[in-house]
Amino acid sequence: MQVLVSVNSVPEAQLVLSAGVSLIDLKDTSHGALAALDLDVSKAIVDTVNAYRQQFAATGIIISATVGDHCTSVADLIQRIESRLNLGVEVIKLPETIWDDPSYQPTIAAFLEQGIRLIAVLTPASLSEARMAGRVQFLAQQGYWGAMVDTTLKSSPLTEMVSPLVLAHFVQAAKAAQLFVGLAGGLSLSHVEPLAALGADYVGYRSGLCIDGQRAQGLLTSKVQQLVARVSEIC
């Protein structure tokens, strides 16, 4: 299992790189659950990660980025995706408000046909037994690279919003469909072991690593290091 950490600045990127985080996610952590990070800041972070890769021959690092909780049009969506790909972002995360909207699906399909790696972010409500299987099947058929569940509100952790059994079914279904599957949403260090037992490919963190548990605050070096150490011990 790998660790994904959302960052919003070059110093935060340097912090997580030095701690051994392999999945670097670009996100404006002060606005919304999947708010898009400023492009100039994003470029600076991508350049920082690339410099680290060259210096340490670190080939296992992946840069992902969110495109925002919503977009206004097809043209807006194309611009949001292409602008980040042009910076060197390797994986794009799309919220359910976008990937589940029929008006955007032909555009998304065109990116998938080009081999662009997209991760569909599902809400906890989408993991109900009646809907989950169909959603995972749809994503696999479309050619998505991955699927993850994340919460919109971070006041309660994912584990309190979705039962372990439902999360396990989601992970199993997504992996059976050959999707790169992740779990995130208000997680703390105590959630590492129970989530690792479910078999997800990665766990996503932000608020649980921040000052006072507030995602808009800065990352704490000690907590990032503890997270990486705990995951390394398990895996």
Percent with pLDDT over 90 in the chain:
88
- End-to-end Cα distance, the chain: 6
Query: pLDDT digits over 40-66, tens only?
Result: 999 999 999 999 999 999 999 999 999
What is the torsional sign of CA 128, 132, 135, 139?
A: positive
Torsion of CA 49, 150, 97, 153, to 10 degrees: -110
Residue 150, both tokens? 């994340």
Q: What is the pLDDT of residue 137?
A: 94
Query: pLDDT digits over 120-178, tens only?
Result: 999 998 898 778 989 999 999 999 999 999 998 767 899 999 999 999 999 999 999 99
CA distance 157 to 133: 23
Structural domain boundaries of the chain?
2-234
Burial (CB < 10 A; 0-12, 13-18, 19+), residue 52, is middle
> Rounded to the nearest 5°, which phi and psi values hold at 4?
-110, 130
CA distance 165 to 161: 12
Residue 112 CB partners (closer than 8 Å, separation 6+): 118, 142, 143, 144
Residue 146, both tokens? 């991955």
What is the torsional sign of CA 117, 166, 202, 83?
A: positive
Residue 123, both tokens? 């809400």
The hierarchical CATH code for the domain 2-234 is 3.20.20.110
